[in-house]
Structure 1
Amino acid sequence: MTRGPGSVMRFVRILVLALFFAGVFAAPRAARAETGAVPRFVVSEATAEARVGRIRLRYDPALAEEARFLLEHAPGFWSVVERQLEGDLDDTLTIHLVDHAGAVASATGMPRWVAGVARPETGEIVVARHGPDGSRSDLAGLLRHEMAHVALYRAVDGHRVPRWLHEGVAESLEGKVSLARAETLAGAVFGPGVPELADLERAFSSDDPTEVSVAYAAARDFVAHLRGLDGSGAAFRQFLYELSEGYTVDAAAVRAFGRTLPELVRSWRTALPDRFVWYALAAGGGLPFAALLPLVAAAWWRRRRLLREAFARLEAEDRRVFGESAMAPSYVACAGS
């Protein structure tokens, strides 16, 4: 079939827009998982060890540079995560750093496509430098994601919470904009529809990659909606406190937000079409590409500002942990236990 000039130009506009956003925001995305399938993680490759505070890092000796990065920034990552959830949580963690996602699978019993796993009950985390396809993982985002699983478990005092909350919190606290998640959710909004909250539990375990991706995108967006309802996140932290006291998700929502969970879901879903109208316009060719450039530029500058603020927080945390000299922690290589 021959494409007309209008179709070609529409395709070019969408392709250029997607590539621009991908260059600004995206990194190869490795799959995450909440918990492993074995009682204890046994990571034979991680034979070197280093510590900072209550954080223990075990790593493959060949990954010394990556280990140094994680150990220098892990306290700051944890500080940001716990501040968003409660403010002061037990920061005892054991992080295992391996080279490839296959080693994560061997150590945790999870599928070989998983590049990061957390066991919230024990505070153990395993992350891989390379994803299942061999691409470099975003170690910072991967570690923050798995830290969020542990932090949420501690924030609710170990009470069971739905997976949409676990994955939504972890996704929303990765500390970066995800165009892939936004595009996935937008496609569902203007396509087959966004699954109901109750259906997300099944969707997370689906064999259909698209269904799984939509579930993660919806969970991330709904949790971000809850966190932003009062502008400060205080209501969301109150929600977690109510869960830690043993209240059900529905009861905790009423106590913290003053609305039932179905009402909160309805308000979120009602706003989705307006929020993602750019997707329909771009995909349908109803908006000239030039008109999108200010939005792209604004998003780029906002991303730069967020990165500057994040680095400032990390530097402040380094000074708090290591002193004004911001000395890096010592590293000790030792035989694996």
Structure 2
Amino acid sequence: MKRSSRRSPAAALGLRLAALVCLALAAAPGLAAAAPRIYDAHAPAASLDGKAAPAIPPPPPEYHTEDLGWIEFAYRPSTRDRVRPLIVHAGAIRAELSALLGREALVAPVKVRIAAVPAELDNLVPGGLESAATAASFGALRLAVLSASPRSGLAAPDLESAFRHELAHLALDEATGGAPLPRWFHEGFAAHVAGDHAAGRAQRLSVAALRGRLLPLDTLEESLPGAGDAPGSVAYAQSADVLRFLVEGERRHGFTRALDAVRAGAPLASALEAAYASTGHELELAWRADVARRYGFVPVLLGSLLVLGLLVAGALGVQRLRGRRSPAPPAPHRRLRAAPEARHRPARTSTAQLVATLGARHRSESDGDAGVPKVEHNGRWHTLH
């Protein structure tokens, strides 16, 4: 008997309903195992496109494991000296994130895998790491992977800064309940917490502010480059500084309210406007005014003083150098003089002789016989006739 190829209307309707249910399950993040998202400062944000397994692979058997309860470290023993500061400072970083987010951060356990070389990262990530990064985090898996060594041609990574960066990604993802956020917002928060490339970012913002080349905030997402070029871009520097502005001082309470609204399902732009009681344009103007004060006048003044100080120091240094190199003036010639001849001085007249001479002169002046010769005998004077 030949089977009919036509399906009944009930069967067709059942297949359509099953297809719709499958699509709904695939779209619902809480009902199906969604592909974990990657947040990374050195590579474009991407998903694993369904290639990742839902479970984290165990660390290699030669890795050493240290569990602090809320965070678990697994690292190669050769990196122990560089990993120890991360373990010591992990609690302080968690407390700092809690203060910034206005809630306890990293409540769910976090796993950190630290490879000795970048080539080992593919063995630590479900499905492998599809980027040239030396650090990455996966919000859905509560996983952060780091490499203690750079890729060829790059400087050695700052392991503690990268660790802070990836924990910030995980904490922000946890605070918003995994709600979708623009990449510039995620990267800006992580860069601000980590403080990575802070000097370079300040320099780029200062130059952009003085030249009037700051990017509009609504173009940051499309202006943020990928891969290793992101930290060196103006868009990356602006992203970090906007987040610095949003969490600084009294504005931190508004930042916490905005995250709560995002967690409840509100879009980020609407949440920020409601939390700060300002429109997006007003927030941007306030940030630009803050940038002008922070990176405009003050850096120019400090730079001018620094240049002036360097010029004065250089002039003094050149003067001292010339003084050392110039020959010493010759010593003046001294003429040899003959020893002066000793002059004979007559002996001083005694007092008795002086009295006798004066007395004789007085007598001769008072005596009328001045021209008559006289002689002294036994203290008496006799006139010769």
Q: TM-score range by the shorter chain?
A: 0.5 to 0.7
How far 1:286 sits from its partner (Å)? 5.1
| C-alpha separation in 1, matches of 2:167 and 2:62 | 19
Over residues 224-244 of structure 1, what are the superposed CA-to-partner deviations in whole Å (9 max), with x where a residue is unaligned? Answer: 11112526x222111111111
In the other structure, the counterpart of 1:219 is 239
Are positions 1:96 and 2:113 aligned together?
Answer: yes
State the Cα distance separating 1:66 from its structure 2 match: 2.5
The code of the aligned residue for 1:162 comes to P
Written as runs of structure 1 = structure 2, the 5 A alignment for 1:231-310 is 233-277=252-296, 281=300, 287-290=305-308
Q: Secondary structure at the match of 1:130?
A: coil
**How far, CA to CA, are the matches of 2:224 and 2:195 in structure 1?**
22
Measured at CA, do residues 172 and 32 of structure 1 come closer, stay the same or move farther in structure 2, by a change above 3 Å?
farther
Secondary structure in 2 matching 1:79: helix
The answer to whether the 8 A contact 1:32-1:115 is kept is no
Distance 1:230 1:51 in 2: 36
TM-score (structure 1 length as normaliser): 0.67
Choose between structure 1 and 2 for higher RCO, CA contacts under 8 A separated by at least 6 residues.
1
Q: CA deviation at 1:151?
A: 0.4
Aligned to 2:83: 67
Q: Which runs of 5+ in 1 are unaligned?
A: 1-29, 293-337
Aligned in 2, Cα 1:35/1:119: closer, same or farther, shift over 3 Å? farther
Over 3 Å counting, the alpha-carbon distance change for 1:264 and 1:291 in structure 2 is farther
Given that residues 146 and 170 in structure 1 are in contact (C-alpha distance below 8 angstroms), is that contact kept between their aligned partners in structure 2?
A: yes
Partner of 1:136: 156
SS in 2 for 1:94: strand
**Relative to 1, partners in 2 of residues 1:190 and 1:74: Cα closer, same or farther, differing over 3 Å?**
same
Partner of 1:50: 66
- Quote the Cα distance in structure 1 between the aligned partners of 2:197 and 2:130: 27
Structure of higher CA gyration radius: 2
TM-score when normalising by structure 2:
0.59
Give the CA RMSD over aligned residues.
3.3
Count of equivalent residues: 261
Q: 1:221 to 1:214 in 2, by over 3 A?
A: same
CA deviation map 1:53-87 (0-9, x unaligned): 12111112221222333223223222221221132
Are 2:43 and 2:228, in contact at CA under 8 Å, matched by a contact in 1?
no
- Which residue in 1 is equivalent to 2:27? none
More helix by percentage: 1
One-letter amino acid matched to 2:74: R
1:208 Cα offset (Å):
9.3
Where does residue 52 of structure 2 map in the other structure? 39
Counterparts of 2:235 and 2:189, CA distance in 1: 13
2:221 corresponds to 1:201: yes
8 Å Cα contact 1:167-1:220 kept in structure 2:
yes
The DSSP-based 3-state class of the residue aligned with 1:190 is helix
